[in-house]
Every structure is written in C-alpha cells, then in structure tokens.
Structure 1
C-alpha cells in the first residue's frame, strides 16, 4: 500500500511516499481503508522529534476517517463497508480510568500515528474498540475532525469548563484548528465568545464561525480590552490554546471562580504564575486534552445536526503531506488541512 513515511526525524522534507506492506488485522482488530486524514499540529511536533514518539520509518496521522474493509477474529458490532472515525488514543479498557469512562487518562496506551502506524497511508489497523461508526450525513473530510479537534473542543468546553448559557468564554489562538471549533461548541452551549488573535487578517473567519467579539492584539496584551468588553466583570472560562505568550493575560481576564482550561503548549515553554491573582479571585486551572468516547459521540451529534461545521482550510492529496506540513508550520492555515486521495508527485 502507499504511505507517507517519516524517513527520519526533522523537517517537512522528511516525509516521503513509499510502498509498505498492507497491515493484517489480528485478534480483536479492524482493518480500515483510509478515506481522509487531518493534519494536526501534534503531527509536526512528532515529526520534529519533540514528543519522543515516532522514529524513522513511522507513519504519522491520528485524525482518521475511513471505511471498514476487514474484521479480525472476535470482532462484533461493525460491518464491512461501514464509514467510521478512529478514536486516536489507544486504551486498555481494563484499568480504573477506562472503567470510569476516562479513556483519555489510560496509562497503558499510546497515540495512533505516534506509537503505532497511523493514517498517512491507504490502510490502518486498530483495535475494534477504537472504531466509531459515523452518521451517514457526515462526509469523510468532516468525520476526520470529529475526534481531534472537535472532540477535543467538546472535552474542553462541555466537560471540563462546563460552559452554561450566558457565560462568556475567551479563546486564545481563535483562528487555529482548535479555536475555530471551540467557538462553535461554546456557541452551541449558549455562551458569548471573545476570540483573541494577533492577526487582523484572521478576524473575518473568527467572526464567521460565531465569535461575538474579536480582539486583535499584536503584542498579546489583551486583558484590558477584554475587561472593557465584559463591563469589568471578566469571563467565566478561558480556553488557552497558546499559553506560552498569553497565559498571564488570560488569567487576568477571568472573573472570580473562573476557569482556565489549558490545551496548548505550542512553544514548549514554562510560564509564570501570579499566585496572588489565583488566590484572590479563586481561579481554577485545569488541563484538557484527548476526548473520551462520550465526548466523541457528542461531537458527532453536533456535526450531524449542523451545530458545528468542521473548518477545513484546504484538501490536498496524501502525496502533498510534506508541503502541507510546511504550510502549517508557517502558520498559513485557518482550520485544518485534510488529506484525501493519492496522485503521482
């Protein structure tokens, strides 16, 4: 089968198209023909060797939609030809976290495309418990985003921040793959949304997905303007997709007992924390990441019902994976780049 393979750790040019053996499902596994794969910033960090996951010869890709083509022994509940999306976190389904529905916390696990071959190829093999049927009205390119970034957004907005109607939610990195979907999820909860961006050119797309206010802050000193927009009341929740250069400002924007949900760490830097601010306003800080299976089901419902529209910047063939990584690395994207189909390159 054709695959995009990492010939080494490094830049986008490390991604090359090669023929590799087609996987065979073992006991309890399912073989899926890949129809679409999204490119996440996590893929870039993996490729660059910053997350200690893939090695030379690895196949990246955890945002995978496809079609069931073969069932391993003892697999039930799935059918050949069924459209599916893959839950990208491998989980044991036996530990205390899995038994509580917290698949995102399973320690006996890995990530599709990081610790096992992912979706940058024609076929991928995964445990049957990672295969989630997709409603018929969702296209493959949209389904590919149901787990990450949309499921991740549902996890942050609904499950962690517990956003309610009338809340005001602040989103940093609002034009990114997470931010544009978080805006929609927050609006589906009846919230007012303020998006933060450092680029005036991104204002239109941020507003187009439902943001009520957009703060353009080239120096990322936005707390005074947010305080003004909220009538000096602050926001109930911040979804922090940037963190390294925004965290202090985000905390200043929070209302008493507000929550900062930390999702990003794009520059892999430590940040300073003002304990006095946290104590005086009784602020809460909580990390959020992979969704649970329940979060993904909520995400699929939001997509199927039209409450959330997957934001796709462009669709490119798998053979253009290196170019797509380069574009994403240069921050030239609003939403996701999705790969579909193969052509000579």
Structure 2
C-alpha cells in the first residue's frame, strides 16, 4: 500500500500483529519473514529484549516521532505502572527531559522515582492538573503521554502548557471523553494519535537502547507451564512492568 511504499508500514491498511490478528508467540518456534528479525541488544536477556518490540517501540514513536519531545522539555506520563508508560518514562528521562509520572499506588510511584522519574503524583489522593501546575510554577507540561483515555482526559488537557502536545495510544477507561474544543483551539493544543512503530524506528530504538544501556522493567517471569499464573499476574493491578514467559526451544 502507499504507506508501506513510503516506509511507514505501521500505517499499512493490511497490517496484522501476532497475538492479535494471527496466532501469537507463546511457542518455542515461530516462522516469520527475515525482514522482521532484528539483532537484540547484547546486554539484555530474551524476556527483556522481547519487551522492546511492543512497549518501547510504541513509546519511542509517541515521544520522538509524533510528539517530537526535546531534552529541555517537561513530559507528564500517566499510569506509570503500565508497560508503555514505564518505557516512555525511561526514554524521556534518558534524553534529559523532566519527567512527571502519575499512578494511583504509592509503591509504584516510589519505584518510578528510583528508575528516573523526577516527580510523582498520586492520582487517587491528588488532583493531577493542579499538582502539575504547582510543580511547573503555573506553566504546565510540554508533552502528555497517556493511554488511559476517558478517566484522565480532562486532567491531561488541563496539564498542558499553551501550544502543548498530548499523544495517546490507548483508551482503557473509555474512548469518548469530552472533546473540550474551546481549550484545544484557544490554547492551540495538539492532540496526536500513535500506535506501535515502523521498522526504521525499531532499528533506531535498538541502537539507542544498546548505546545507553537501557533495560526494560520486568515485573515477573514464568515458565510456559505456568501460563495461567502468568496471565493472572498480568491482570492484577499490583504488577509493574512486563510479565514474561521463559521459553526453551524444543528438541
């Protein structure tokens, strides 16, 4: 299609993802086109490297291709316990940007601070936008990264500086938030959609991760025989980072 021809295969009109549109990857062996294979960074194990193709690629495109985040800017990342949000926090901090994170759990906020976030906001006990304004001396943030949708949309919009950018890749709490059109055009805000990433972005991400020694956050790892326990952990609200499966090749 026209998007594949220009190198942006993530916009392909016939794109299919393993595990969503076709059989997934809970197996010892897979057959894929050779152009879909990339060398993994040497300092990562297989579970850590596997996280790069989803969470980190999604966050990379959101931050650097779509929102064009700069090192001197401030970014607000909602729901830092989730994989994409953790990846966005790590990548944004690695370029020198100031990173504010939110969660409804204090232990996740403390872990995020230990992993490189600069400030943390408990969305259950604090009003996020008000706290953001206090932390930025009434200015607001340059970029908001969110994948929650309806539940945080109003706070996300109110947290932006005039001319700021909101980039979203999900709507787990609902996809029909109030548009708040007056705020968008009066403050000249940008609302940017993003999903996954293309092959060129993945090459850039892999090189960057290896050069800067970035390690994806893994919550827990299970053997394939414990797949049901792994899925239960995945559904639990207490996890932070990815849940991995350690697969051994069959004879």
Class of the TM-score when normalised by the shorter of the 2 chains: over 0.9
Contact kept, 8 Å, 2:67 with 2:167, in 1: the verdict is yes
Q: CA RMSD in A?
A: 1.5
Contact kept, 8 Å, 1:188 with 1:307, in 2: the verdict is no
Name the one with the larger strand percent: 1
Aligned residue in 2 for 1:34: none
Shift, 1:184, TM fit: 1.2
Structural mapping, 1:132-147, within 5 Å: 132-147=38-53
**Paired residue for 1:206, among 112, 124, 129?**
112
> Are residues 1:105 and 2:11 paired?
yes
**Paired residue for 2:131, among 225, 235, 242?**
225
- Which has the higher Rg, Structure 1 or Structure 2? 1
Shift, 1:263, TM fit: 1.3
Aligned residue in 1 for 2:240: 334
**Paired residue for 2:91, among 181, 185, 208?**
185
CA distance in 2, matches of 1:241, 1:307: 26
Shift, 1:188, TM fit: 2.1
> Are residues 1:296 and 2:228 paired?
no
- The verdict on how the C-alpha distance between 1:219 and 1:266 changes in structure 2, with shifts beyond 3 A counting, is farther
Shift, 1:289, TM fit: 1.0
The normalised TM-score by structure 1 is 0.69
Structural mapping, 1:5-20, within 5 Å: none
- The verdict on how the C-alpha distance between 1:106 and 1:136 changes in structure 2, with shifts beyond 3 A counting, is same
Q: Output one character per residue of 1:236-256: Cα deviation in whole Å (capped at 9) or x when no partner.
A: 000012122101110000011
CA distance in 2, matches of 1:160, 1:272: 23
Aligned residue in 1 for 2:102: 196
**Paired residue for 2:220, among 299, 314, 318?**
314
Ranked by relative contact order (alpha carbons within 8 Å, sequence separation 6 or more), the top structure is 2
Structure 2 residues not aligned, in runs of 5+: none
The normalised TM-score by structure 2 is 0.94
Contact kept, 8 Å, 1:138 with 1:303, in 2: the verdict is no
Moved more, 302-311 or 279-288: 302-311
Aligned residue in 1 for 2:78: 172
> Are residues 1:241 and 2:241 paired?
no
Q: Which runs of 4+ in 1 moved over 6 A?
A: none
Shift, 1:100, TM fit: 1.5
Q: Number of paired residues?
A: 248
Structure 1 residues not aligned, in runs of 5+: 1-94
Contact kept, 8 Å, 2:167 with 2:193, in 1: the verdict is yes
Aligned residue in 1 for 2:27: 121
